[in-house]
Amino acid sequence: MQDGGYYVGLQEINRERFKEQWFILYRISGYWNLRQAPKFWFLSFYSSSFRIDISCSWDPRYNGLSFYETTAIFPVSRFRDFLLDVKKLRDLKPERFCGIDIYNGIVIRFIKGSKAYLGQTEDSVVIDFNYYRVDDALTPRLNQDVMEEMEQMEFVKHGAKPHWGKNRNVGFFGAKQKYGPNFEKFLEVKNKLDPKMMFSSEWSDEILFGRESSKYDGCALEGNCVCSEDRHCSPSKGYFCRQGLVYTQARVCRFSSAQV
């Protein structure tokens, strides 16, 4: 450990082999903070002189964007059908997507297949969409039903895998089944490295195993459940549990002024 960054000591791991030319070219040893994110971000964040031109849009020092994020990972072969569903949803009433447009829109990126147990076994497409939510978990979001329908299209209808560092709880419901035998292999390694469950908690187990907790009033607003009754939304504020507009098996919290 040096200056806050992890450093792999060559003398501790097969000293001579790691000096060979083929290995040096990969540059996998060094300071972790220089590999985890672009260098300019760290220069901007830790620099005594603030530079907006090399800062991220969510940098809190200049009141940048504050948002929550949903991220799903699709096999390339299944992404087209999801995209067509989103376009159908958009075409019904395009202005209802304005809440997403304010916060970066829908971002698409691509990743290579991986042999990691909780990684993607094939080349995949990643989709992100950001949205604003107030600190009060029981306050509905702008056009909440649109985002919830997209969320359920991703993870339920089209079987996307969740990004493990993002998403609301509903994104992880049933996630372990999507990994097949690799999930059990991951648990085997996890239990071997952490037999006393020091790094586990009730919350992390909910996420890892995709467990849905007991439903309560307003649970769908926070993404802790998929609504099945109006009380899971916010009837007092005009949000009621309704079926999706394109994916009709979805259950979402939709605003209705006529019922307030």
> What pLDDT shows up at residue 165?
87
Orientation angle between helical segments 144-152 and 76-92, nearest 10 degrees: 160
Average pLDDT over residues 230-253: 97
Same domain, 100 and 176: yes
* Residue 222 resides in a domain: no
- How many domains would you assign to the chain? 2
Same domain, 16 and 105: no
* Cβ pair 82, 160 in contact under 8 A: yes
Same domain, 84 and 208: yes
Average pLDDT over residues 207-213: 86
Higher confidence at residue 228 or residue 166?
Answer: 228
Same domain, 43 and 80: no
> What pLDDT shows up at residue 2?
37
Instruction: Give 215's pLDDT tier (boundaries 50, 70, 90).
Output: very high
CA distance 240 to 148: 13
* Residue 188 resides in a domain: yes
What single DSSP character describes residue 151? H
Same domain, 30 and 136: no
Same domain, 195 and 97: yes
pLDDT tens-place string over residues 97-119: 877 776 677 889 999 888 899 98
> What pLDDT shows up at residue 66?
72
Residue 125: give its domain's CATH number. Answer: 3.30.70.2520
Asked if the model's pLDDT at residue 19 lies above 70, the reply is: no
Instruction: Give 50's pLDDT tier (boundaries 50, 70, 90).
Output: low
Same domain, 151 and 49: no
Same domain, 151 and 191: yes
**Low-confidence winner among 5-14, 37-46, 223-232 (lowest mean pLDDT):** 5-14
Same domain, 45 and 125: no
Average pLDDT over residues 38-57: 58
How many alpha carbons lie under 13 Å from residue 133 in its C-beta half-sphere? 18
> What pLDDT shows up at residue 20?
53
CA distance 51 to 145: 38
* Residue 21 resides in a domain: yes
**Domain of residue 41, residue span:** 10-61
* Residue 203 resides in a domain: yes
How many alpha carbons lie under 13 Å from residue 3 in its C-beta half-sphere? 5
Same domain, 176 and 204: yes
Instruction: Give 13's pLDDT tier (boundaries 50, 70, 90).
Output: very low
Contacts of 196 (CB under 8 A, 6+ apart): none
Asked if the model's pLDDT at residue 47 lies above 60, the reply is: no
Asked if the model's pLDDT at residue 21 lies above 70, the reply is: no
Asked if the model's pLDDT at residue 193 lies above 50, the reply is: yes
Same domain, 88 and 163: yes
